[in-house]
Amino acid sequence: MNIYIRSAACISPQPTFGEQPSWTSPAEASAKAGRLACIEPDYKTLLDAKALRRMSRIIRMGVATANDCLRQAGEKEPGAIVTGTAYGCLEDTDCFLQSLIQRKEQALQPAPFIQSTHNTVGAQIALMLQCTRYNNTFVHRGASFENALLDAILLLSEGEAETVLAGAVDEITDTSHAILQRFGLYRHVPAGEGAAFFLLAGQPSPSDQARLDGITTFYKPEDTKTIEKALRSFLEQHAAEPDLVIVGANGDEANDRRYRQLTTNASVFAGKKLLSYKQLCGEYPTSTAFAFWMAARLLKQGVHRQILVYNHYLGIHHTAFLLSAV
């Protein structure tokens, strides 16, 4: 079977949302050092004011991108909604946790607890669309978006859905940033965040952005040879010859060593045109959703025929997608 990316929407630290998406300017780390915040649209023009008041930032970003993705494709109700998020709704979690400690477990407001569950974004999209169909949320760190895509692929191949809205969302909060910084994650790369949703379909349409050919995920590979073998076998299975490889290099030597080794001599990316993306969106576990959005857009523009996106998250989750022009 074939799977087509019918439409795509993305809110990121780049001006990617709206009629004229672009990502050409290197993002400037926002005032708060070391983090790239999303450029958010004026939600009042996009979402119901009453519903908006109750939504935290991550919910707004997720619901707005989902909404825009469906609008572009003219889809009123997708056959399923699948979301990936590594951290979930941090702002509400943080808020409830702080108040439970500060108020010593008494007289707590339930609202942040209610909205802290990891499936809140998917749920709010369903509520907005009154969509009673399949709804699932994957929370598997650096492979959360990939698992949402995998679920979408299965739903389409099973004939369970004709279209699937699949995407990923993650936010930075002051608290999460302060804690994650102490792990030394952002010494060379700013922290990032973003929301991206895609409408995937089993049948082609005139507006398709690209075709999704396959995904591979592998876990804690011992060395570069193992990574190379996995990627080579993935490309061979698809008889793929990508003319662009989008990679998750982020400027941190320990992180980037793997990517560099894959480009040397006869290695799998040798002689391939490479493009890094994390200087644009920052580092976060679902950043591959941004790379996926970029790849689909580049293919739609006709700049490339076939793109491989390869990322590893902290050396733990290695993931790759192959997309082709339609």
Partner 1 sequence: MDVNINKLSTSPVAASASGADADRAPTAPGVAIAGAGVISAIGKNVADSLLSFENGTAGMADITLLDTIYRSRLPVAEVKANNQELARWAGLSASAAGLAPSSHTTKSHITGLAPSVSRTALLSLIAAKEALDDAAIPGIETLRTGFISANTVGGMDKMENFFECRLTDHSKDRLREVVLHECGAVTEWVADRLGIRHYQTTISTACSSSANAVLFAARLIRSGLLDAAVAGGADALTKFTLNGFNSLMILDADPCRPFDDGRAGLNLGEGAGYLVLVSDKIAATLSRKPDVALSGYANTNDAWHQTASSPDGRGSWLAMSGALQRSRLRPADIDYINLHGTGTQNNDLSEGTAISRLFGPAYPRMSSTKSFTGHTLGASGGIEAVFSVLAVRHGLVYPNLRFKTPMTEQPLVPETAFLKDLPIRHVLSNSFGFGGSCTSLVFSKEQR
- Residues 110-129, interacting with partner 1 (CB under 8 A): 110, 113-120, 122-124, 126-127, 129
Give which of 182, 197, 195, 194 is closest to 282, Cα–Cα: 194
- Helical (H) or strand (E) element with 259: helix 253-263
Q: List the interface residues with partner 1, window 246-285 (CB under 8 A).
A: none
- Binding span for partner 1 by CB under 8 A among 21-29, 103-111, 272-280, 287-295: 103-111
Q: Is 2 in the site for partner 1 (CB under 8 A)?
A: yes
State the number of binding residues for partner 1 (CB under 8 A): 74
Q: Is 136 in the site for partner 1 (CB under 8 A)?
A: yes
Give which of 71, 64, 69, 68 is closest to 7, Cα–Cα: 69
> Smallest distance, Å, CB 202 to partner 1?
8
Neighbours of 316 (CB within 10 A): 13
58, 143, 168, 268: which one binds partner 1 (CB under 8 A): 143
Q: Provide the β-strand partners of residue 191.
A: 35, 283
- Binding span for partner 1 by CB under 8 A among 29-37, 38-46, 233-241, 297-305: 233-241
- Binding span for partner 1 by CB under 8 A among 39-47, 67-75, 206-214, 272-280: 206-214
> Smallest distance, Å, CB 172 to partner 1?
14
Q: List the interface residues with partner 1, window 290-319 (CB under 8 A).
A: 316
> Smallest distance, Å, CB 184 to partner 1?
10
Specify whether the backbone of 194 is left (phi greater than 0), alpha (psi in -120 to 50) or beta.
left
Angle at 22 between CA 20 and CA 25, to 5 degrees: 140
Decide the pairing of beta strands 134-138 and 163-170: unpaired
27, 66, 86, 296: which one binds partner 1 (CB under 8 A): 86
> Smallest distance, Å, CB 22 to partner 1?
29
Specify whether the backbone of 302 is left (phi greater than 0), alpha (psi in -120 to 50) or beta.
left
216, 255, 286, 287: which one binds partner 1 (CB under 8 A): 216
Q: Is 144 in the site for partner 1 (CB under 8 A)?
A: yes
Q: Is 228 in the site for partner 1 (CB under 8 A)?
A: no
Tell me the per-residue interface mask from 153 to 182 with partner 1, x by CB under 8 A, - otherwise: xx--xxxx------------------x--x
Neighbours of 302 (CB within 10 A): 8
Can you list the positions of beta strands (E) in the chain? 3-11, 80-84, 134-138, 163-170, 194-201, 210-219, 244-247, 274-276, 306-313, 317-324
Q: Is 3 in the site for partner 1 (CB under 8 A)?
A: yes
